[in-house]
Amino acid sequence: MRAKISTPHRPHRHEAGSRAASPDAAGSPARAAGEGGSAPALAPPRPPIAGPVTGEELELARRNHSAPLESLRWPLTPPGLHYTVVHFDIPDVRPEDWRLRVHGAVEHPLELTLSELRSRPRRTAAVTLECAGNGRGRLEPRPPSIPWDTGAVGTAEWTGTPLAPLLAEAGIAADAVDLVFTGADRGVQAGLEQDYARSLRAADALAEEVLLAYEMGGAPLPPQHGYPLRLLVPGWYGMASVKWLTSIQVLDRPARVFQNESTYRYSLAADDPGEPVSRMRVRSLMVPPGLPDFFTRRRSLGAGPTTIRGRAWSGEGPVVRVEVAIDGVWTEAQVEPPTAAHAWQEFSLVWVAAPGAHTLASRATDASGRVQPLEQAWTFQGMGNNAVQELTVDVRA
């Protein structure tokens, strides 16, 4: 089943008597965050929705905001415009009481204060993060979760200390398999009470670019972005960058973690485990040109030369090509070189706009040869949506 991306999605009114939606999880049952044990009895996954946006989805949309596409003008997204996802509640973390535990298959377990982490070697990196469910709201039928359009993305400068040296200091076991990263946010998902936690393979966690970040844009992390500490895994979708981090557990066996096994999967049905979501797929988004209509957001501008600009990124390497289509005719755009290893790149194209209605689209290709699809393949959880963006523009004579 496939869903065509066309004009921007318009929210519908709430449908009375709709079924509740579970936040960003529609996968098959799995074990809770932690090492293992028997599988708990979980609520069945919510089926996809055909029809109006539900009240539950509207509440999720209110709590988890996307970036307006005009913010793509800036190489760094202002913190207040950067997209946010809060699975449960923003926890009330008191820095004087907060500690980070490093434990499990290590020789020297650690318990570190924020001051101790800030005293370690610092690194600042510009990193693009995108929600794995970005674009979900455009799928039909719609997976029941945050009904993102296309703005669940942002780029910021993150400052922190590299994770690998800290793990070396703790004496990570040579046979370490997985690391479990647990945050302070707690709630119920699919009938299971849990802390939000994600696991990474040891090799991925030990990559030199992985940070324990305590600053965003040169200031302490805002509460919604993980204060006082978050994991930052460049190149991966945002679910891997666990916020409000409190624990790093090293395991000498595969982890059994709900947010890895039951959610963030490229599954095609409720009983299909699918492949796990990991690195960001190649994508480009245009800054909407001209002026917006207040209600429809349809764009209008005057005839003549105008510059189409946007940003492109991929978790598999730099973007090497962006094409822009005007009414289905593709032209190669100018792509700026990367300013940082894991930050998006600017592209631009001068368009001599003639009077009338026109459809604009952009399509990126990364260094690994991956190309944005023209249509989005449907998945049960609505993950990894990277189909080309289309905009309708009315050009005045």
Tokens at 135, concatenated: 């674009």
Average pLDDT value for residue range 324-344 = 97
- In the predicted structure, residue 7 carries a pLDDT above the cut 70: no
Domain boundaries, the chain: 20-276, 283-396
CA distance 369 to 192: 40
CATH superfamily of 20-276: Oxidoreductase, molybdopterin-binding domain (3.90.420.10)
Bridge partners, residue 286, by sequence: 310
- Interval 130-135 mean pLDDT: 97
Neighbours of 200 (CB within 10 A): 25
Residue 105: half-sphere exposure toward Cβ, Cα within 13 Å: 17
pLDDT higher than 60, residue 389: yes
In terms of phi and psi (left: phi > 0; alpha: psi -120 to 50; beta: otherwise), the region of 91 is: beta
- Residues 6-27: what's their mean pLDDT? 32
Share of the chain above pLDDT 70, in %: 90
Cβ burial, residue 392 (10 Å; 0-12/13-18/19+): middle
H/E stretch holding 95 reads none
pLDDT grade, residue 62 (50/70/90)? very high
Which residues share a beta bridge with 220? Answer: 215
Q: The pTM is what?
A: 0.89
Using the predicted structure, report yes or no on whether residue 12 has a pLDDT greater than 80: no
Q: How confident is the model at residue 9 (pLDDT cuts 50, 70, 90)?
A: very low
User: Both tokens of residue 355?
Assistant: 């009077």
Instruction: Express each pLDDT in 66-98 by its tens digit.
Output: 999 999 999 999 989 999 999 999 999 999 999
Q: Is the pLDDT of residue 256 over 70?
A: yes
* Residue 19, pLDDT score: 29
- E strand or H helix at 387, and its extent? none
Q: What is the pLDDT of residue 79?
A: 87
Q: Is the pLDDT of residue 173 over 50?
A: yes
Residue 283: name the closest of 205, 154, 373, 381 by CA: 373
Average pLDDT over the chain, rounded to an integer: 90
Compute the residue count for the chain: 397
- Alpha-carbon distance of 76 to 72, in angstroms, equals 8
Give the pLDDT confidence score for residue 41 in this predicted structure.
60
| CA atoms within 13 A of residue 87's CA, in its CB half-sphere | 30
Q: Tokens at residue 3, please?
A: 């869903």
How far is it, in rounded angstroms, from Cα 380 to Cα 260? 15
Half-sphere exposure of 332 (CA within 13 A, CB side): 7
Give yes or no for a contact between 239 and 181, defined as CB atoms under 8 angstroms apart: no
Whether pLDDT at 5 is above 60: no
Q: Spell 2-37 as b/e; 16+ CB within 10 A means b.
A: ebebeebbeeeeeeeebeebbbbbbbbbbbbbbbee
Same CATH topology for 20-276 and 283-396: the answer is no
The pLDDT value given to residue 40: 56
d(Cα 44, Cα 21) in Å, to the nearest integer? 11
- For residue 34, the model assigns a pLDDT of 54
Residue 10 has pLDDT above 50, yes or no: no
If you average pLDDT over residues 241-261, what whole number do you get?
97
User: In this structure, which amino acid lies at residue 43?
Assistant: A
Between CA 288 and CA 392 the distance in angstroms is 9
CB 142 within 8 A of CB 382: yes
Q: Architecture of 283-396 per CATH?
A: Sandwich (2.60)
